[in-house]
Structure 1
Amino acid sequence: MYISTHQALLDFCQRAREFDAIAVDTEFLRERTFHPRLCLVQIATPAESVAVDPLVIDDLSPLAELMADESVTKVFHACSQDMEVMLHTVGVLPRPIFDTQVAAAFLGERQQISYGALVQTFCGVSLPKTESLTDWSRRPLTDKQIEYAIDDVKYLIVAYTEMMSRLRELGRVDWVLDELRPLADESHYRADRHEAFRKVKRINSCSRHQLGIARELAAWREDRAERRNIPRKWVMSDDTLLALVKRNPVRVEEFRSIRGTDQLGERDVDGALMAIKRGASCPHDRLPLMVRGHRQISPELESVTDLMYALIRLVAERSGVATSVIASRDDLADYIEHPEQSPLREGWRFELVGSRLDDLLSGNMGLTVKDGKIELL
């Protein structure tokens, strides 16, 4: 069903609220805007599947009320971008949620399983991808496009039922819900513009002093892009931003000598120069530190983390929980140095592997090789 009127949306949302869970997906575009532009919302209940057209319905309040109804679980696959666009466009963050991509990692699948692979695994259906490059903002939509879009939720609600059954059998429903909790927090989708510099390409080549400049200049770029609702690269590319950071221009002519600044108006140049000046004058104790990628650790610590990681992989193999969901090598190094602050000391991770890590590090348990495979000793 294609829903293009407020009344049809209201009627469907009333029917949907009779169920404990519904599947939700979105189609959006963000190539020409700062915020994603919501073009279609697909929803499936166990009884019906619909495509809601937000580009032609002026009042989306019934959809907002459905998304906020905490008696109905909203099932997504890889939900972060869907949640972001719903929050920005509809004004509410869907709650409670269930993410099948996250859940699959607790059922023996890889951490970032695709939707197609998920449907194949849990529904036995192979989905076509003929409309994957569709411009969802163009109207009218064809029947084929609508059918393709609805496939993204029609099978999702079926997969959810099967996955919940398996999770209950394994006693892992609470594990998944714990892992999903941060994704239901609005702060997860409201980015701090003063952290935007960390996503600039090749920012790791900067000194701490230069990072101070990059923080202010990237924050200025975020503000301009959001105000105009255009992609940040249309204000200034990463390459231009990085060149400005490293040259630290003071005067307009110095600024203009850098390639990629010619499209900026006088007010933008003045604003960018002020941002650069703020960053350059930042006290040393307030300069940012880059978040490490792979941390540098001593050979001794590396050997210990190798042993711990072997245990993690063994537990992952036996439990069917993806290794990368349990812990990374950096997580293990942090565990050695600050175990009291580690996620491995809490919740399902401690239940699954935390106590075994303690036994391994205290010498109460070991690992050996038997028939070419690692075994507990």
Structure 2
Amino acid sequence: MIETTAALEEACRQLAQSEFVTIDTEFLRETTFWPELCLIQMASPDLEVIVDPLAKGIDLAPFFALMADTNVVKVFHAARQDIEIVFHLGNLIPHPIFDTQVAAMVCGFGDSVSYDQLVQKVKGVALDKSSRFTDWSRRPLSEKQLDYALADVTHLRDVYLKLKAELEREGRAGWLTEEMAVLESRETYDLHPDDAWQRLKMRLKKPQELAVMRSVTAWREREARNRNVPRSRVLKDDAIYEIAQQQPKDSEALGRLRTVPKGWERSSSGTAIIDAVNAALALPKSEWPQAHRHSHAPEGAAAAVELLKVLLRLTSEKHGVAAKMIANSEDLDKIAADGEAADVPAMHGWRRELFGDAALKLIEGHVALRFVGKKVEAVEL
């Protein structure tokens, strides 16, 4: 393993000479808010390295410089968590990137295909999974564990080249570029505490309750970040829902809630929650958030959604693109209800060309579905 800044700098210098570098990270986050980076694996066509970010005195600046090098494509599989780590520690988003999980869906390898499955399909190699649950923060790591970690980037080289060639052959390289734009956006990883409430399940509908939920959730987000502990260690979601509904204005009212631990209302956290509740209640009604209102589905919309599902499957099979990649059930609901006005991914970019326009024609009566030789096909009327 690379354990010194000098060795890392030399490795990154060599890796930067390649057209692409495959990257994976091992981390722990069971007891922390921010993931604890334990290992970095990288490979180019000519070099394979493992970096120990826990080594005493090592400076990861050469690694972050490589991540920012626009001349090198950074290849990940299921990139979001790896990029989150780079963003948090290095304050940058790797660019350009290539996510093989997304590319595999565009190329028809199925929905959210795992790395193991992709390696099996592309290379016919079954990976040894016995080291999957390793505690990567412990030292020393065995040769078997290091081999397992390195395999996450060595096979990825062939997977990347296969998928890249497939995308270029099918003229879909631009499709992937659209998808990578989301992964390369700072907004994807830099969630503002005041927006954290939108990640919760929307069990509440009243604007006043939503205002309290937003305020309390923002406090929890800041507290979890400052203490570097999981959000649930600060306050569980169920407690937030109850606080939003009951709206305790003092410690006595907070202490009566079932989801709040006994005596907690007298703590500094209890005081902060009461302050958050009262701050939300003091807002003018015009500043309360509104529950998302679903469009009123016209009569027959449920049946229309079922037809759209059939059309989606036909489109997926015909073009070899995972159905989940083209549209989800919420997209179909909105298209059935709102038609052209549906502002969903399926109505934009390559998805519209592939499916959206045909979906509109179907619900407008210009396309029909019929059986031909025990198969279903879509035909324009």
Q: Determine if contact 1:196/1:215 at 8 Å carries over to the other structure.
A: yes
The share of aligned pairs that are identical, in percent, is 35
More deviation, 266-275/118-127:
266-275
SS of the residue aligned with 1:27?
strand
C-alpha distance in 1, partners of 2:58/2:265? Answer: 35
C-alpha distance in 1, partners of 2:161/2:100? Answer: 10
2:370 corresponds in structure 1 to 368
Runs (4+) off by over 4 Å: none
TM-score relative to the length of structure 2: 0.91
1:128 corresponds in structure 2 to 128
1:338: Cα distance to partner?
5.6
1:352 corresponds in structure 2 to 354
C-alpha distance in 2, partners of 1:144/1:288? Answer: 52
1:130: Cα distance to partner?
1.1
1:151 corresponds in structure 2 to 151
1:350: Cα distance to partner?
2.6
Q: Is 1:35 aligned to 2:34, yes or no?
A: yes
1:91 corresponds in structure 2 to 91
List gaps (5 residues or longer) in structure 2: none
Q: Which amino acid aligns with 2:351?
A: R
Structure 1 residues 349 and 368, CA gap change in structure 2 (3 angstroms): same
1:71: Cα distance to partner?
0.7
2:255 corresponds in structure 1 to 256
Q: Determine if contact 2:252/2:265 at 8 Å carries over to the other structure.
A: no
Superposed, 1:168-179 pairs within 5 Å as 168-179=168-179
1:48 corresponds in structure 2 to 47
Q: Determine if contact 2:254/2:265 at 8 Å carries over to the other structure.
A: no
Structure 1 residues 356 and 253, CA gap change in structure 2 (3 angstroms): closer
RMSD: 2.2
Structure 1 residues 359 and 268, CA gap change in structure 2 (3 angstroms): closer
Q: Which amino acid aligns with 2:148?
A: Y
C-alpha distance in 2, partners of 1:23/1:244? Answer: 46
1:358: Cα distance to partner?
4.2
C-alpha distance in 2, partners of 1:92/1:203? Answer: 32
More deviation, 233-242/262-271:
262-271
1:234 corresponds in structure 2 to 233
Superposed, 1:294-313 pairs within 5 Å as 297-313=297-313
1:141: Cα distance to partner?
1.8
1:89: Cα distance to partner?
1.4
Q: Which amino acid aligns with 2:308?
A: M
List gaps (5 residues or longer) in structure 1: none
Q: Which amino acid aligns with 1:281?
A: A
C-alpha distance in 1, partners of 2:71/2:363? Answer: 44
Q: Which amino acid aligns with 1:368?
A: R
C-alpha distance in 2, partners of 1:175/1:350? Answer: 12
C-alpha distance in 2, partners of 1:174/1:274? Answer: 49
C-alpha distance in 1, partners of 2:262/2:190? Answer: 28
SS of the residue aligned with 1:108?
coil
Q: Which amino acid aligns with 1:53?
A: D
- CA-to-aligned-CA distance 1:271-297 (integer Å, 9 cap, x gap): 1111011223333333223457x9773
Structure 1 residues 182 and 261, CA gap change in structure 2 (3 angstroms): farther
Q: Determine if contact 1:38/1:89 at 8 Å carries over to the other structure.
A: no
More deviation, 244-253/27-36:
244-253
- CA-to-aligned-CA distance 1:286-333 (integer Å, 9 cap, x gap): 3223457x9773442222233233222111111110111111232234
Structure 1 residues 52 and 232, CA gap change in structure 2 (3 angstroms): same
Q: How many residues align?
A: 374
1:342: Cα distance to partner?
4.4
C-alpha distance in 2, partners of 1:13/1:58? Answer: 14
C-alpha distance in 1, partners of 2:150/2:99? Answer: 18
C-alpha distance in 1, partners of 2:89/2:324? Answer: 33
Q: Which amino acid aligns with 1:150?
A: L
- CA-to-aligned-CA distance 1:178-214 (integer Å, 9 cap, x gap): 11211111111011212222334x6514633222111
Q: Determine if contact 1:29/1:39 at 8 Å carries over to the other structure.
A: yes
More deviation, 137-146/38-47:
137-146
